[in-house]
Amino acid sequence: MSTFLENTQKIVEDTVKIIPDLPNSDVLSRLKKPDRILEFEIEFQGDDGTVKKFPAWRVQWNNTLGPYKGGVRFHQDSSKDEVMALALLMTIKNAVVGLPYGGAKGAVRVDPRSLSQRELKLLSREYVRKIFEYIGPDKDVPAPDVGTSPEIMDWMVDEYSILAGHWEPAAFTGKSVEKGGSRGRDIATGFGGFIILREFLKFRNSKLEIRNSPPKVAIQGFGNVGANFAKIVHQNGLKIVALSDSKGAIYNPDGLDVEELLKIQKERGVLNNTKCSLEEAAGGKCKTISNEELLELGVDILVPAALENQITENNAGTIRANVVLELANGPTTEEADRILERRGIEVIPDILANSGGVAGSYFEWLQSKEQKWWDEETVLKKIEEVMNGAFVDVKKTKEELNLSWRKAAYVMATKRVAEAMKKAA
């Protein structure tokens, strides 16, 4: 099985070959490798007095379209290769949505659940100290990703401001609203995913064989992205029959009450200061299944919203959904993508489906730069416009060149980067 990085690089290489009039033939050599890799170790004194050390990275892939932009992940399995793949994806994603950003990504190989609040704060601040001279509002703007939260962004922006000698909220996005974040940023990725799904269903209305009315949805991952998407989809009348987190999955063919599950998780969290699993929140009221079983359920729409490499050549043949909406980054391997395409399963790719997050970040960045604050309705309306525009653009390329959604999105993005390179040459 090829790696996440190899997969992503191969898609870019294949894309360049199918673009009819590539505005700049140098685009592949620029897009094949990152502009800069920062690789370092984070060290601090743990609560038990011992020195704790964790490997960390910031990869800046390409800034042809604007400052580097991309999240920071805290996860026990993070690696340099993973960060590189995610940085390349960010480059392509920002071009798909037409944002004035390049692509970057960062990570620390750590299980944040194993750290105390004090240790997490030390880790976050030290991460900023290591990359300080390479980031900033017009250089590289980090945001949250898996295992990082608005609270962590608040510590990071605070550390950045101390080092800069002045308050600089535009250096990070995904901050809490109290610390200069944007209303609507917390739900932006899930909300954007819903807009893309809505437009897709409208477009496919007459052609797609949706077995159930309302459509049945299974979601893998119940963090920032999965839970907010689930809530919005549920509020809009689709039926969520399965949900999962890292501990396992729950299933009810008659539909799960997402708001009730979130309420229980919130109440228990406040009581114990920990997040209770979905299974605990469901309290034995529905069937528990494995994460693998969730992926193979006979639903209309399958939504991977956890981590990469979940749909592989080993299980692509057993996926029974009509549509895969990729809210996670890189959940489908290249081999699996080909199997799904052959089987007529439509895949709405990550670089389109989850771009609501970076669109939300863009509007937060603008507000932070201008010291203006918009209400949630205004922010969501702006994100909706961006998502609608991106959907129309990708659909047009798809129809003109008769490509899959993923290939069409890559073609559009690569052309945009190549055109910008030509202008700057």
Q: Which residues are catalytic?
A: 105
Q: Which of 15, 78, 94, 224 touches ligand NAD (CB under 6 A)?
A: 224
Show the binding pattern over residues 344-363: x = contacts ligand NAD (CB under 6 A), - = does not: ----------x--x------
Report how many residues bind ligand NAD under the rule CB under 6 A: 24
Show the binding pattern over residues 272-311: x = contacts ligand NAD (CB under 6 A), - = does not: -------------------x-------------xxx----
Which two tokens mark 405? 């959604």
**DSSP H or E run through 144:** strand 140-144
Q: Which residue, 146 or 170, is less far from ligand NAD as judged by CB?
A: 146
Q: Which residue, 34 or 144, is less far from ligand NAD as judged by CB?
A: 144
186 binds ligand NAD (CB under 6 A): no
253 binds ligand NAD (CB under 6 A): no
Q: Which of 91, 189, 265, 367 touches ligand NAD (CB under 6 A)?
A: 189
Q: How far apart are CA 403 and CA 414, in angstroms?
A: 15
Q: Rounded to an integer, what is the distance from CA 167 to the centroid of its chain?
A: 28
**What does the DSSP 8-state code read for residue 273?**
S
> Is 214 strand, coil or helix?
coil
Which two tokens mark 241? 């029959």
246 binds ligand NAD (CB under 6 A): yes
How many CB atoms sit inside 10 A of residue 271's CB? Answer: 9
Question: Minimal distance in Å, beta carbon 356 to ligand NAD?
Answer: 8
Q: Scanning the structure block, which residue is given the tokens 């191969």? A: 10
Question: Minimal distance in Å, beta carbon 143 to ligand NAD?
Answer: 7
**DSSP H or E run through 157:** helix 150-164
* Half-sphere exposure of residue 289: CA atoms within 13 angstroms, side-chain side: 20
Strand pairing class (248-251; 287-289): antiparallel
Question: Minimal distance in Å, beta carbon 93 to ligand NAD?
Answer: 8
Show the binding pattern over residues 204-223: x = contacts ligand NAD (CB under 6 A), - = does not: ----------------xxxx
182 binds ligand NAD (CB under 6 A): no
Q: How far apart are CA 345 and CA 291, in angstroms?
A: 20
**What does the DSSP 8-state code read for residue 374?**
-
Beta strands in 198-333 (DSSP E): 216-220, 239-245, 248-251, 287-289, 301-304, 323-325
Which two tokens mark 118? 């004090």
Binding segment (CB under 6 A) for ligand NAD, from list 6-14, 39-47, 239-247, 380-388: 239-247
145 binds ligand NAD (CB under 6 A): yes
Q: Which of 62, 244, 333, 368 touches ligand NAD (CB under 6 A)?
A: 244
112 binds ligand NAD (CB under 6 A): no
List alpha helices for 274-425, DSSP H: 278-282, 291-295, 334-342, 350-353, 356-370, 376-401, 405-424
**Residue closest to ligand NAD, measured at CB:** 223
Question: Minimal distance in Å, beta carbon 136 to ligand NAD?
Answer: 21
Q: Which residue, 213 or 274, is less far from ligand NAD as judged by CB?
A: 274
159 binds ligand NAD (CB under 6 A): no
Q: How far apart are CA 380 and CA 363, in angstroms?
A: 10
* Backbone φ and ψ of 49, nearest 5°: 90, -15
| Residues 313-332 contacting ligand NAD, CB under 6 A | 327-329
> Is 343 strand, coil or helix?
coil
In the complex, the residues that contact ligand NAD under the rule CB under 6 A are: 144-147, 189, 220-226, 244-246, 291, 305-307, 327-329, 354, 357
